[in-house]
Amino acid sequence: MYPYYRIQEGGWDVDVANKSMRDVQLVIHEFDPGCDAYVEKPGRKLPVDVLWEEVDVDLYDGLIIPGGRAPEWIRVDDDVRRITEHFFARNLPIALVCHGAQVPADYGLLKGRRTACFPPITRDMEHAGATVVDAPDVVDGNLVSCRGWPDMPQFGRVMMDVFSKSLVTA
């Protein structure tokens, strides 16, 4: 959710895309000392602006792929693939949050690229040919990524820098 607001703060319009026009249910991942993994709680809802199948990629300057469990589901959609491949092919700014790296990795787009990701999916990224860097923000050209929500303060600044530089020179 932080990148959604941070990009708007930078002066860009943001469209939320989804398979259906139903609101996107966000979740909060918290680390509970009594659990081995994070606990998922309902968060805010975001209204959807456009269907994936209706996204005209030429109207957009950048792409943010969210984290959490969404990438498990969205990466199998042909329109998500079309959208993602467009931004990679044109070296437009792309932000990957947490599990978001699963989407381009599934399409072979992270091969030879440096990325951060949520630590439990490191092996998946390496199998996809990515070099995983354990840092709060990793920049590889037009691509900026982070491990998860604890990285947001630093990641937000770097994401804005990558998007600003890419869009000025594009």
Per-residue pLDDT reduced to its tens digit, 41-56: 888 999 999 999 999 9
Q: Which residue has the higher pLDDT, 73 or 31?
A: 73
- Selecting among 29, 86, 99, 127, the annotated active-site residue is 99
**Domains of the chain, start order:** 2-169 (3.40.50.880)
Percent share of the chain, pLDDT over 90: 83
pLDDT of residue 87 exceeding 60, the answer is yes
pLDDT of residue 95 exceeding 80, the answer is yes
> Contact, 159 vs 95, CB < 8 A?
yes
Write down the mean pLDDT value for the chain.
Answer: 94
Using DSSP's 3-state secondary structure scheme, residue 97 falls into: strand
What is the arithmetic mean of pLDDT over 121-148?
98
Q: For 13-68, give the DSSP string.
A: ----EESSSSPEEEEEEEE-TTSSSEEEEEEEEE---EEGGG--GGG-S-EEE--T
The 3 state secondary structure assigned to 69-80 is CHHHHHCCCHHH
Output the pLDDT for position 168.
61
Q: If phi over 0 gives left and psi between -120 and 50 gives alpha, with beta otherwise, what is residue 70?
A: alpha
Output the pLDDT for position 73.
93
Active site residue 99: yes
Indicate whether this model's pTM tops 0.85: yes
Q: For 108-146, give the DSSP string.
A: TTTTT-EE---GGGHHHHHHTTPEE--SS-EEETTEEEE
Report the alpha-carbon distance of residue 61 to residue 124 in Å, rounded: 28
